[in-house]
Amino acid sequence: MKALIYVEQRDGKVRTATLEAAGAAAALGCDELHAVFVGDGLAADALAGAGVSKLFLVPPSDSYSPEYHAAAVAELARDGGYDIVFFAATQRGKEIAPLAAVGRRAAFLGDVLELAADGGGVKAKRSLYGGKLFGWFSAPAPLVVTTRPKMFAPASGEGEPAVEERPAPAAPEKRAVLIESHASAGGKVDLTEADIIVSGGRGMKDPANFAILEELAELLGGVVGASRAAVDAGWRPHSDQVGQTGKVVSPQVYFAVGISGAIQHLAGMSSSKVIVAVNKDPEAPIFKVADYGVVGDAMKVVPALSAEIRKKKGG
């Protein structure tokens, strides 16, 4: 199968989620792997070792528009006869990929957790009903796939891709245009790409108490997340929200501190490799999905855990 990867950059670097999408293509057995980048400032060496043999560069539009990016990808996918187009299931990937599928007249499989070859097409595992069920779906080529971050190993290979410039796509109607963007403070790792996440909910009682979660996250090399209740209360920005109406994450370790475990929150973190719950209520639903649970006051449990970690680190 011939595959095309949509490349995303963040802070001048190719996003890890993009490399994971390329890894998904390689694991699927795609024997020809190319990439496309829409915009300025990406060099071929940015994809060195990613197993990509050719990189297509498409000039940017005067302002970011998902329709423009989708048109560029769809035109290339048609012209190049690609069987599968891969996007990472990031915010940008989710808004461009369905449009590209329509432009390519291709099937679409979104937020995929696993992939397997199925004759001339693909079988994909996806979560259903907020993570309560998992289902396998089949689709023939051509198709467009978005892969959930942290679910696939990043691609590996040798050498840099050859570079080929592409013309701008036929001007599509711009129904949405980016007016302005604001960088997150401190340049912290995006929740969707973090290996360790320490999330807090209404059980933290006060926004000032998130300081103990920040301390634990720093000791572990992780980042802080939040439940919708904490975000709605104004304690944390929406960019920290994990859940059905926030971000879907799949870290190696997820701490749920003072979070009851409503189905809307579970939908965003149930695919975490290890889940650690801290809650005063022994009947909290979060304990049903947790690998490790502590029934206790987060204001005492979390500082004690941080103290033990400092001891282990000798600090």
For residue 112, what is the domain's CATH number?
A: 3.40.50.620
From the list 178, 177, 7, the residue with the least C-alpha distance to 90 is 7
User: Exposed, middle or buried, 240 (CB in 10 Å: 0-12/13-18/19+)?
Assistant: buried
CATH number at residue 281: 3.40.50.1220
Helices 298-313/210-220 angle, 10° precision = 30
**100 domain residue, yes or no:** yes
| Contact between residue 250 and residue 272 where contact means Cβ atoms under 8 Å apart | yes
**36 domain residue, yes or no:** yes
Of 165, 194, 210, which one is at a domain's C-terminal end? 165
* Domain that includes residue 122, residue range: 2-165
- Predicted local distance difference test score (pLDDT) of residue 20: 95
**175 domain residue, yes or no:** no
Question: Domain check: are 142 and 190 in the same one?
Answer: no
Question: Domain check: are 95 and 63 in the same one?
Answer: yes
- H or E element that contains 68: helix 66-80
Question: Domain check: are 159 and 221 in the same one?
Answer: no
Question: Domain check: are 218 and 155 in the same one?
Answer: no
> Structure tokens of 85?
């187009």
- Predicted local distance difference test score (pLDDT) of residue 187: 57
**Strands 143-147, 223-226: pairing kind:** unpaired
**173 domain residue, yes or no:** no
- H or E element that contains 86: strand 84-88
Question: Domain check: are 84 and 190 in the same one?
Answer: no
Question: Domain check: are 146 and 221 in the same one?
Answer: no
Question: Domain check: are 159 and 298 in the same one?
Answer: no
Per-residue burial over 163-177, b if 16 or more Cβ lie within 10 Å, else e, is eeebeebeebeeeee
Question: Domain check: are 82 and 215 in the same one?
Answer: no
- Predicted local distance difference test score (pLDDT) of residue 315: 61
**273 domain residue, yes or no:** yes
Successive 10-residue mean pLDDT values, the chain, 315 residues: 94 90 92 94 86 94 90 96 96 95 96 91 88 89 95 86 93 77 68 94 96 96 96 94 92 97 91 95 95 96 96 81
Question: Domain check: are 189 and 155 in the same one?
Answer: no
**177 domain residue, yes or no:** no
State phi, psi for 160 to the nearest 5 degrees: -100, 150
293-to-38, 271, 287, 309 alpha-carbon distances in Å: 45, 17, 6, 18
Of 104, 137, 165, which one is at a domain's C-terminal end? 165
